[in-house]
């Protein structure tokens, strides 16, 4: 019975399949959703594999797909402008396809169009999922809350040696207008391509082993393609930066979109040049604070020294008066009885003779008075003033007594002459 059946060739079978697919409804210009895999470009054409997975990541269906060069050039630019990243593997996409069946290569899908908004939503969902996971693990804010060094001069740089962004960073940092000195050390890493994530993680591990030698870390990238930003939305890289023991500055040269790395880093800037300007401004501000403290200390010292000088001047002026008071307390003062005794001594003939001798010593030959000393009596010590005052009072009393006695003698003389017959 099998011999009576006329078989057909494989080519004829494939031709019939291709014809059936060509006229089958719902197979041309059909929108489907899938995930890209093994994406590669050759001769302007873009080849990939579209995969559908379940929640556990197990593939449920696969199909080869191609975007011909005539279509790929326009789709690539439109996708990049809308999403900020280039079409790559492991992206969820919504594409419009035609089913094609080749006698040799079998069935494949020809992509005619792509909806970037679907991919943007997926990228945002993926980014949010990474952020939520980091928050749930309690590491999202760790690097952002690290204290900055007061003088951030030792900088570990993660970049590619030949990158334009690295050159701009070093030039602006070491050639700053303030003349501030920085120490930088480069830890090389690929900043685009498939090795970007692992390269940056390896560089961070090397820096962590020498943590005490640096004040902060700068991850910079400049001049690269915008399509390579997907590497900075990686969970492993974000987790390493979030838990890094030193503050991290991220300047990946892209201002329009924000990556997960920008969220977890201690400082996010637009470009490598902006990262250098931030470090220069931080160090200049620290030096200004030190100079302000120095001026404040100087003003306080000047004020304190002035106050102590005033106190010393006051005490210096008080020393003579205090010394005189101490001397006066040690020596007893003369009482009025002493003045009376002196007055009695001067009233006797011997006392009068001593007084006359003293008076003669105060006069020069010829009766001219001796010159007086040119000093202020008010400045004499108190004990001397008391003695002089007592002596002056005695002299005045003796003078009045002599005048009274002389006047009495004259009256007696007159009375004797007038009473005689």
Is this structure's pTM higher than 0.95?
Answer: no
Contacts of 47 (CB under 8 A, 6+ apart): 38, 39, 40, 41, 64, 65, 66
Tell me which range, 274-283, 306-315, 402-411, is most confidently predicted by mean pLDDT. 274-283
> Taking the domain 2-136, which CATH number applies?
2.40.50.140
* pLDDT at residue 420, rounded to an integer: 45
Q: Do residues 252 and 221 lie in contact, with contact meaning Cβ atoms separated by under 8 Å?
A: yes
Report in angstroms the alpha-carbon separations of 380 from 112, 375, 376. 122, 9, 7
* pLDDT at residue 143, rounded to an integer: 96
Boundaries of every domain in the chain? 2-136, 154-285, 336-405
* pLDDT at residue 372, rounded to an integer: 52
Instruction: Write down the residue that tokens 């004499």 correspond to.
Output: 380
Q: What is the 3-state secondary structure (H, E, C) of 251-315?
A: ECCCCCCCCHHHHHCCEECCCHHHHHHHHHHHHHHHHHHHHHHHHHHHHHHHHHHHHHHHHHHHH
Q: Do residues 51 and 61 lie in contact, with contact meaning Cβ atoms separated by under 8 Å?
A: yes
Report in angstroms the alpha-carbon separations of 171 from 188, 215, 371. 18, 19, 91
* pLDDT at residue 344, rounded to an integer: 53
Q: Is 351 a residue whose pLDDT tops 70? A: no
Rg (CA), the chain: 56
CATH H superfamily, domain 154-285: Dehydroquinase, class II (3.40.50.9100)
Q: Is the dihedral of CA 389, 395, 396, 397 positive or negative?
A: positive
Contacts of 394 (CB under 8 A, 6+ apart): 339, 342, 343, 346
* pLDDT at residue 216, rounded to an integer: 96
* pLDDT at residue 32, rounded to an integer: 92
Phi-psi region of 275 (alpha: psi -120 to 50; beta: other; left: phi over 0): alpha
pLDDT mean over 229-238: 88
* pLDDT at residue 288, rounded to an integer: 84
84 or 40, which is more confident? 40
Q: Which of 97-111, 131-145, 406-420 has the lowest mean pLDDT?
A: 406-420
**pLDDT-derived band at 258, boundaries 50, 70, 90:** confident
174 or 392, which is more confident? 174
Phi-psi region of 363 (alpha: psi -120 to 50; beta: other; left: phi over 0): beta
- Chain centroid, CA 224 distance in Å: 31
pLDDT mean over 155-184: 91
Q: How far apart are CA 83 and CA 118, in angstroms?
A: 10
Q: Is 343 a residue whose pLDDT tops 90? A: no
**pLDDT-derived band at 235, boundaries 50, 70, 90:** very high
DSSP per-residue string spanning 176-215: -TT----EEEEEE---SSTTHHHHHHHHHHHHHHTGGG-S
* pLDDT at residue 419, rounded to an integer: 46
**pLDDT-derived band at 310, boundaries 50, 70, 90:** confident
**pLDDT-derived band at 382, boundaries 50, 70, 90:** low
* pLDDT at residue 12, rounded to an integer: 82
HSE, CB side, 13 Å, CA atoms: give it for residue 85: 25
Q: Is 277 a residue whose pLDDT tops 90? A: yes
* pLDDT at residue 192, rounded to an integer: 82
The 10s digit of each residue's pLDDT in 96-110 is 998 888 888 888 999
pLDDT mean over 223-238: 77
Q: What integer best gives the mean pLDDT of the chain?
A: 81
């Amino acid at each position: 019975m099998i011999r009576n059946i006329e078989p057909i060739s494989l080519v004829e079978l494939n031709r019939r399949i291709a014809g059936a697919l060509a006229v089958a409804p719902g197979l041309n210009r059909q929108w489907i959703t899938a995930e890209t895999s093994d994406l590669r470009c050759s001769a302007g054409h873009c080849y990939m594999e579209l995969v559908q997975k379940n929640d556990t990541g197990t593939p449920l269906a696969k199909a080869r797909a191609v975007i011909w060069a005539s279509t790929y050039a326009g789709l690539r630019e439109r996708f990049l402008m809308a999403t900020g990243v280039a079409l790559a593997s492991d992206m969820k996409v919504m594409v419009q396809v035609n089913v094609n069946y080749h006698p040799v290569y079998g069935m494949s899908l020809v992509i005619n169009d792509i909806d970037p908004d679907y991919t943007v939503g997926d990228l945002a969902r993926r980014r949010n999922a990474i952020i939520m996971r980091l928050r749930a693990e309690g590491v999202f804010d760790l690097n952002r809350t690290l204290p900055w060094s007061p003088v951030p001069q030792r900088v570990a740089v993660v970049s590619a040696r030949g990158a334009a962004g690295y050159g701009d960073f070093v030039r602006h940092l070491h050639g700053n207008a303030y003349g501030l000195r920085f120490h930088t050390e480069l830890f090389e890493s690929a900043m685009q391509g498939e090795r970007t994530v692992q390269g940056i993680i390896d560089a961070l591990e090397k820096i962590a082993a020498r943590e005490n030698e640096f004040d902060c870390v700068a991850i910079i990238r400049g001049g690269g393609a915008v399509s390579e930003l997907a590497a900075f939305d990686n969970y492993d890289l974000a987790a390493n930066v979030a838990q890094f023991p030193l503050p991290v500055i991220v300047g990946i040269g892209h201002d329009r979109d924000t990556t997960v790395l920008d969220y977890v880093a201690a400082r996010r800037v637009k470009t490598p040049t902006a990262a250098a300007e931030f470090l220069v401004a931080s160090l200049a501000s620290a030096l200004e604070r030190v100079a302000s403290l120095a001026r404040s200390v100087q003003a306080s010292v000047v004020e304190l020294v002035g106050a102590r000088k005033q106190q010393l001047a006051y005490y210096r002026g008080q020393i003579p008066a205090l010394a005189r008071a101490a001397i006066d307390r040690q020596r007893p003062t003369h009482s009025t009885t002493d003045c009376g005794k002196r007055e009695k001594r001067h009233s006797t003939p011997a006392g009068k003779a001593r007084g006359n001798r003293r008076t003669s010593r105060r006069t020069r030959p010829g009766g001219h008075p001796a010159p007086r000393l040119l000093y202020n009596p008010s400045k004499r010590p108190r004990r001397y003033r008391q003695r002089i005052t007592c002596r002056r009072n005695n002299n005045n009393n003796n003078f009045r007594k002599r005048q009274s006695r002389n006047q009495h003698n004259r009256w007696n003389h007159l009375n004797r002459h007038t009473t005689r017959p």
